[in-house]
Amino acid sequence: MNKSEIQQRLRDNYFQFIKQISDLQDSDFLLSNNGKWTAGQQLEHIIKSVRPVNLAFALPTFMLSVLFGKANRPSKNFDALVEKYKQKLAAGGKASAPFVPKPVAASDKQKLAKRLRSLTNSLVKRTGSISETQLDSLILPHPLLGKLTLREMLYFTIYHVQHHEKQALHNIQRVAQ
């Protein structure tokens, strides 16, 4: 995926997630099944996950290089990155403490949705200021996947929201059955 395709996928996936969560009835927004996160907690987790990526993309690229180094391999493609993430989850990988959501009230739904929309818009804009070469040469740490190129981090970010949207909707559907 090139940069403009990444930006479009970020917008599409995040705005779809925001719409799905925002449209939930409060009872579904707060529903937990078998100890799984509520839709509200899925929303909070996504905010906690996107915030540091957005902050990293706000840094001057030379700072990213100084702080995290440079890639010593080519970027994985989207499918390979997603497969690596799925393997880590299958091996028992879970969100680390800073990314675990607190309980979320129904009254916070619109405020959190607005916050995620703002973060998404900012990340899309900041992605536009990074060159295609820098997307493949600069790296960021990921708590589960290790060192990722900026392009891979964006791939993860694109997929991650889809993963949690499916979890939120699956949780609600399981209870309805």
Residues across the chain? 177
CB contact at 8 A, 141 and 147: yes
Residue 7: half-sphere exposure toward Cβ, Cα within 13 Å:
16
How far is 79 from 176, CA to CA, in rounded Å? Answer: 32
pLDDT at 113: 98
Decide if domain 3-176 falls under CATH 1.20.120.450: yes
Confidence of residue 171 (pLDDT cuts 50, 70, 90): confident
Q: What is the pLDDT of residues 28-65, one digit of tens each?
A: 999 988 888 999 999 999 999 999 999 999 999 999 99
Q: Which residues partner with 149 through β-bridges?
A: 139
pTM for this entry: 0.95
Burial of residue 27, with CB atoms counted within 10 A of its CB: 0-12 exposed, 13-18 middle, 19 or more buried = exposed
